[in-house]
Copies of this chain bind each other. A is one copy, B any other.
Amino acid sequence: MKKDTSTEDKIREAARQVFLAKGFDGCTSREIANAAGENVALVNYYFRSKSQLFKIIFEAAMDDFILSMVQVFGSDKTLEEKMRIFIEHEYAFLEKHPELPSFILNEMNREEGCTMDHQKYFLKVAETGIFEECFKAQEEGRMRSISLSSIPLLIMSNCHYPVMAKNMLMQLHGMTSTEYDENLNLHKKLVSDMLVNFLFPQSN
């Protein structure tokens, strides 16, 4: 009789949870095994090493992180609508995965640093046609003519940072977690308005 969840999957899921919460340096093989309710040796039996297991988790997390952003681009809305939907979508996604931005950024800053398959992600974005759409909108004056690398940076800054800095800002403002989340919901609207007004100046 097959078990409902395989040991391999249990370890993978426990590893994901532990790695995302504490980072590679911040946890041990035994901690992952305990979280999975399994023996330490099974971690290496199924995944050869802590590093190997981490690599799998990191790459899956990077997929989640990047691809969650891409899927909006393909729709048949105007750029301005896409922008608003994108931000809405990103805030909703981060509500479910609040540890993701910190995890990705930290692990990429590590010395034995993680790398990403940037071709893979670049292609995913390119094939939505969003680049051409932006160039056209910039030529026609519908969109502010700024570097195409600044646009995602503006969006990510205003979507990711508020989630990443939650613990610090809660303490700084003396807020509870739910208070912060409520403010975040209001902040989302500000971000949306600000970015749309800035990138599509005629839309006022």
Contact = CB atoms under 8 A, between A and B. Distances in A.
Chain A, interface size: which category? 35 or more
Interface in A1-54: 21-23, 25-26
A40 to B, nearest CB: 20
A183 to B, nearest CB: 6
B194 A198 contact: yes
A118 B165 contact: no
A122 interface: yes
B147 A183 contact: yes
B25 A172 contact: no
Contact of A168 (B104, B164, B167, B169): B104
A109 interface: yes
Contact of A157 (B105, B116, B161, B174): B161
Interface of A: 21-23, 25-26, 66, 102, 104-106, 108-111, 113, 115-116, 118, 121-122, 146-147, 149-150, 153-154, 156-158, 160-162, 164-165, 167-169, 171-175, 183, 186-187, 190-191, 193-195, 197-198
